[in-house]
Amino acid sequence: MWLSVLLVVCAIPWGESQNCRGEKPRLRDCDRLCDKQGNCKIKAALLLPKNITFGACIGAVEPVLELAMQHPAVQDAFPSWVGFEWQTYDVTDCDAAYAVISAIDAYNDCAHVFLGPACDFALASVARISKFLGGTGIPLVTTGGFSFDFVKTKQTCKDEYYMLVRTGPLGFKDLAYFIIDLMKQ
Ligand SMILES: *[C@@H]1O[C@H](CO)[C@@H](O)[C@H](O)[C@H]1NC(C)=O
């Protein structure tokens, strides 16, 4: 988790370069981490369904995030001058269209990082556009994204899910190869 936090801090736009549309980034005041008074805060958007039939729903994940934020390892991962807060957005029943509109709401509320979605279809639609949002893209951290395309390289703007950070090491393809190797033995 703390590694993801570091990645996110590094990925947040600081200025000058080009964005994924080849333009100079148009930063709103609130896209910057620090305001004019020098108060610095990362604003995260938790994009998950409220519906508890989904494993990764707001009711299950938000308390875990609260606990994680109290852990010294996580607290030490943030520089002392940077605060962290989050807001939740309901991705109604993991629906892709609701996922996009929730992400747009979160962008309008000046989120610096998206946590979720976790369901594949919702994740795919948000992860495809997050590279175009904000200054040079809004990082998206998720525990989901196991199917093939999410595992592909994400190093340049040309990569479909450029701003996506998967926290898990595995994808379905790796799992399949693992089981095949196991059977062979
Ligand atoms: C929650 O999601 C399930 C599965 O998609 C659906 O059948 C159910 O109607 C939903 N419940 C509510 C309260 O929206």
What's the confidence (pLDDT) of residue 120? 95
Q: Is the CB of 93 under 6 A from ligand 1?
A: yes
Measured N-to-C along each axis, helices 96-108 and 120-129 cross at an angle, to the nearest 10 degrees, of 40
The whole-chain average pLDDT of the chain stands at 91
What's the confidence (pLDDT) of residue 17? 78
Share of the chain above pLDDT 70, in %: 91
- Whether 149 has a pLDDT exceeding 70, the answer reads yes
Mean pLDDT of 2-27: 69
* Beta strands 82-90 and 113-115, pairing class: unpaired
pLDDT-derived band at 168 (thresholds 50, 70, 90) equals confident
What's the confidence (pLDDT) of residue 36? 92
Q: How many CB atoms lie within 10 A of CB 173?
A: 12
C-alpha distances in Å from residue 64, one per residue of 59, 69, 76: 9, 9, 18
Mean pLDDT of 157-165: 96
Share of the chain above pLDDT 90, in %: 86
For the entire predicted model, the pTM comes to 0.88
Q: How far is the CA of 18 from the centre of ligand 1 (A)?
A: 42
Mean pLDDT of 95-121: 97
Q: How far is the CA of 91 from the centre of ligand 1 (A)?
A: 12
What's the confidence (pLDDT) of residue 12? 56
Q: Is the CB of 51 under 6 A from ligand 1?
A: yes
Dist. CA 14–CA 135, nearest whole Å: 8
Q: Atom 3 in ligand 1: which residue has the minimum CA distance?
A: 53
Helices (H), 52-119: 58-70, 72-77, 96-108
Q: Atom 14 in ligand 1: which residue has the minimum CA distance?
A: 51
Nearest to residue 111, comparing CAs of 45, 48, 179, 35? 45
User: Structural domains in the chain?
Assistant: 29-184 (3.40.50.2300)
Q: Is the CB of 53 under 6 A from ligand 1?
A: yes
- Whether 11 has a pLDDT exceeding 70, the answer reads no
What's the confidence (pLDDT) of residue 144? 93
Q: Is the CB of 52 under 6 A from ligand 1?
A: no
Out of 10-24, 26-40, 108-122, 139-153, least confident range:
10-24
- Whether 3 has a pLDDT exceeding 90, the answer reads no
- Whether 80 has a pLDDT exceeding 80, the answer reads yes
Cα 163 to chain center, whole Å? 8
Cα 178 to chain center, whole Å? 27
